Amino acid sequence: MNAPAAFKTELIELLPSLRAFARSLAHNPAQADDLVQDTLVKALANVDRFEQGTNLRAWLFTILRNHYYSQLRKSKREIEDADGKFAARLSSRPEQDGSVDLEDFKVAFQQLAPDHREVLTLVGASGCSYEEAAHICGCAVGTIKSRVNRARKKLSEMLGLDEDPSLVSGEGRMVEDTANV
């Protein structure tokens, strides 16, 4: 809806007052000018909501004040990152790589010996303790520990992972677990 001529005339007459109010809030001439401009845009976009005969000055000042406080709240959540250091830390790998890695894992896992798949499923996936896995498999705890260690190493080799023990075990348990075997 187009703004009536009287509305536009009164709007123009209120510009100095709006700018003074914006300067009192923002303390920055450029930011104050932006506030006034945003206020005018919002007022013209919502001219149909303004009731003729009411106080245009109060309506515009309310729009300006509300916009200022909205901007202030928004700026508290923002971090200045001119050189992009923060944004670089927030990046994540594409998800399709994860699905490819999972498929590679499934293929490699199926190539393991049945007793290795069994102990990795019990200890790694199901969260059984070595003692529980030994009871289920009907063998000694040391046997379970060595099977888990060999299965993790074999899986690591097939997937081309580094020899870093924390990568092989997922929890860094391989080093401490094999020390007792």
pLDDT at 131: 92
Two tokens at 125? 């996936």
Residue 94 exposed, middle or buried by CB count within 10 Å (0-12, 13-18, 19+): exposed
Q: What are the mean pLDDT values of the chain's consecutive 10-residue runs (181 residues total)?
A: 78 92 90 94 90 88 93 81 74 61 85 89 87 89 94 89 54 41 37
Q: What domains are defined for the chain?
A: 5-86 (1.10.1740.10), 95-178 (1.10.10.10)
Q: Which residues contact 35 (CB under 8 A, 6 or more apart)?
A: 22, 25, 26, 64, 67, 68, 71
pLDDT at 41: 94
8 A C-beta contact, residue 170 and residue 124:
yes
